[in-house]
Structure 1
Amino acid sequence: MDEQIQRGQKWLETLLKLMGVPANVNLNRIEQDRNQVISCWLTIDETPFDLTQIEALTGKKGETIDAIQYLANALLNIGVDEYSHRFFTVELNGYRLRRQAELMAIAQRAAEKVRITGVPEEIRYLSSVERRQIHSMLEKSPDLLTESQGSEPDRRLVVKLRHPI
């Protein structure tokens, strides 16, 4: 297994212990590009947690788990050459999978509306990670473009026709 991914697993287990909620972290969904690991999911075992602890670790609108994921990606890639960077997704109790399904539905609705009306559609209240996910979901659409506009905390994603009517 990739040394950096093992560091990620150990780092997250240590963080959880320091937070007073020790848990095992499993490695799931390791993604590769040309036989090189580029990302993996660090899944927190929720077995020892009650609902209150799960909600606290997830946070309102995923803010806490997003912050943990941000820290993992920032800290674990310090001093690593850019070709060896890993992207870590932190998962707990199926939150990321549910949110990905929600984001896919949001992206599809926006794309459909733009295709029907020809009017750009703004999607608000997304984290930077979520905006990036929707960019990725729609990037292969030959008729659509996405771009982020504005500045935090009011940054939003805009879906528009590649060639306006």
Structure 2
Amino acid sequence: MSETVDAIGTEESKAAVADVADAEDVEETEATEATEATERSTRVDEDVLVQEGDIAGDYLERLLDLLDYDGDIDLDVEAGRAIVSIDGGEDLEKLVGARGQVLESLQELTRLAVQQQLGSRSRLMLDVAGWRAGRRNELHELGRSTAESVLSSGERVRLQPMSPFERKVVHDAVAAMDGVHSESEGEEPKRRVVVFPQP
């Protein structure tokens, strides 16, 4: 009788071990499938961003030809968006305009050209003659120095109206400092950054 009980107990133990092993196999399979799905999604996302860059590059090449401007177009993917830059010719500064206003409009037109072909809204970033890169450094310094001024005076500071790109750089610079925070106020195109001391 006890041999029968032992045999049943052994069979139950074996079944329990098998169940645990099966559960672990299922979990491992699910984890592997989830990882593969994420990798596929990342590849698809990156492929779409590369496609956005290619469409934008073609559009901008035709524009440069029409204007008879010289310029080299560089395509990249960075931080989940397509980055397109035009460098080279002397005439390119005309595509930037005062405080980057022409560049902002050209970027919007390029995004619309991409959207027309792909059917989805693009967040691509366009830079011409390194203007955005240089402006980013200036704005980072402006955000940092404004934050320091607010820290020492305890008074809020309202900056001049800026484009969304400019405001984001300033917000990021302020966010990197303790004791201050920033918000945007107003309506486009008069929207501006305000830096406050922390309460």
TM-score of the alignment, normalized to the shorter chain, above 0.5? yes
2:83 paired residue among 16, 19, 41:
41
User: Contact (CA 8 Å) 2:53, 2:83: kept in 1 or not?
Assistant: no
Q: CA deviation at 1:112?
A: 0.5
- Which residue of structure 2 aligns with residue 76 of structure 1? 114
The whole-number CA distance in structure 2 between the counterparts of 1:55 and 1:132 is: 23
When Rg is computed on C-alpha atoms for both structures, the one with the higher figure is 2
Could you say what secondary structure the match of 1:87 adopts? coil
Percent identity over the alignment is 26
- Please name the residue that 2:72 is paired with: 24
Equivalent residue number for residue 35 of structure 1: none
User: CA contact under 8 A between 1:58 and 1:64: conserved in structure 2?
Assistant: yes
Structure 2 unpaired stretches of 5+? 1-46
Measured in 1, the distance between the counterparts of 2:112 and 2:192 equals: 23
- Partner amino acid for 1:16? L
Corresponding pairs, count: 149
Distance in 2, Cα, partners of 1:141 & 1:72: 35
How far does residue 138 in structure 1 lie from its aligned partner after superposition?
2.9
Give me the whole-angstrom Cα distance separating, in 2, the residues matched to 1:147 and 1:27. Answer: 32
Deviations 1:81-122 (A, max 9, x none): xxxx65322222221111011001110111111111121111
1:139 to 175, 179, 188: 175
Match of 1:14 in 2: 62
| TM-score, normalization by structure 1 | 0.76
Residue type of the partner of 1:31?
A: E
Aligned-residue offset at 1:57 = 1.4
Whole-Å Cα distance in 1 between the matches of residues 153 and 99 of structure 2?
30
TM (norm. structure 2) is 0.65
- For 2:74, what is the secondary structure of its paired residue? strand
AA aligned opposite 1:137? A
Aligned-partner Cα distance in 2 for 1:137–1:70:
25
